[in-house]
Structure 1
């Protein structure tokens, strides 16, 4: 059995310095978001190091309450990121609530399902399986839900005359916004379809690569990766549909009138 080669903090520092130098080159070539690139890189490093320390303690404690706490934090930050990625957000933290609800009803549910029915570790909430699976499913679902809601709200603002014309012709709120919901669903799911098409030929997905690097049997790594990809499809598609349903309803009042003052444009 192969053993995993350790990476030192000095190695990571070397790679981080290359990213810093890359930012300088990008700046000289007219890239306007160099500062954001650096900040995002530093944030990523800090978040992953913090998560590494926290997960090491959680794995050692091996108690369901700490695993539940990690899951709640992950869900909360995912809902927050969904709202931050939108041009227009629903007032009163509506976008955050929609994102959190859709992810809880999909990513959390399918993760628990696969832990209890497919992998069946003992106990079923074993952190070695529960936390990585939830993280991978959440990450992809979060991106898709954010894209779907962003497309829905932007199109509702831009196509307000067309929606109101449909309403004036006697169509219901659901019918008048159906074409926007279809476009939003398409936009949200295209990246997921692209990942599925490229997996195994153009790219080796992250979980499979990580397991192989850690010395796992390639065929076992492949089976786990197929399972994760199917979970992502289930969670992402279901989550987007739930979020779009909630968002579409929020755009209309009880009398089926388009009410865009519920949307707030983010700076």
Structure 2
């Protein structure tokens, strides 16, 4: 019995020795740690050895403020996004207003242009009327001078008569009298007769009056001036007094011209008989 007990006791002792050998380094380390001196207060080692304190309240406050700022920035961004359509609407409304006002502005500009055009036209009409009045007065004065010369027997009689006939034609045209073409044709004949005289000292002046009479003619149908480019007037073959720019114009105006044509034809034949 003693033999086995001794064996068991020896085995237990060996086991305890083995466990003690395993635990010896930890105990030595703990003992060494206890033997280490505590760091001096205020040193860097002491600061590192102290447990870390929680972050101060200010950090939390700053973090909350930053969060509030971020929230406000997000709100501002959202407000900007919401405001963008409003700005677009304002721009669209402004564009629509401009489009709406555009016709009115254009109409106002056209009215101003029309007013200016009417003013210019009125000025041109007034200037033309003044010119006609001055020209008419000049022919009246020349007509009186010719009468005086004829009465006094001054100058060449045929020249004075031709000049007076030319003045009559111009006065009839400028004053809107009747038989303008007939008077013009009679004055042209008188001037041609005067120019036919040999060595007429006033030939150049009479020739100038003849050219002016021919250029002052106008179509009795449409009123086209002999001065206009491409206009060539021809006398009516029946009355030999009225002028027309074409046969078509004579045909269109025949209903209005026929009474005058018949009257002028009879007048011409009567004059030829005399």
TM-score (norm 1): 0.24
Higher relative contact order (CA 8 A, sep 6+): 1
Structure of greater Rg: 2
